Amino acid sequence: MSKAAKCLGIHPMTRRQWAVDGKIPFMWVGRERRFSSVDVENMKRGSASSISRPRREVLYVRVSGSSGQESSLAAQEEELRATSTGEVVKVVKDRGSGLRENRPGLNRVLAMVSDGVSVVRVTHEDRLARFGVGWLKQLFAVYGVTLEVLHPKKSGGRDELLEDDVSLVTTFAGRLYGMRSAQARKRLLAESGQCAGGGDAG
What's the whole-number mean pLDDT along residues 98-110?
89
Dump pLDDT digits (tens) for 74-100: 999 999 999 998 899 999 999 888 888
Model confidence, pTM: 0.56
CA distance 174 to 162: 18
Higher pLDDT, 157 or 25: 25
- Alpha-carbon torsion, ordered 7, 147, 107, 35, to 10 deg: 40
DSSP state for residue 123 in the 8-state scheme: S
The per-residue pLDDT of the chain, averaged, comes to: 77
Residue 130 has pLDDT above 80, yes or no: yes
Lowest mean pLDDT among 45-49, 76-80, 98-102, 166-170: 45-49
pLDDT at residue 198, rounded to an integer: 46
Higher pLDDT, 61 or 21: 61
Specify whether the CB–CB gap between 121 and 150 falls below 8 A.
yes
Alpha helices in the chain (DSSP H): 2-8, 12-20, 37-49, 70-82, 104-113, 125-128, 133-142, 157-191
CA distance 34 to 26: 6
Dump pLDDT digits (tens) for 3-23: 766 676 666 666 677 677 777
Q: Which helix (H) or strand (E) element contains residue 121?
A: strand 119-122
One CATH from 3.40.50.10880, 3.40.50.10420, 3.40.50.1390, 1.10.630.10 for 54-153? 3.40.50.1390
What's the whole-number mean pLDDT along residues 41-63?
74
Q: What b/e sequence results for 65-99 when a residue is b if at least 16 CB atoms lie within 10 Å of its CB, and e otherwise?
A: eeeeeeeebeebbebbeeeeeeebeebbbbbbbbb
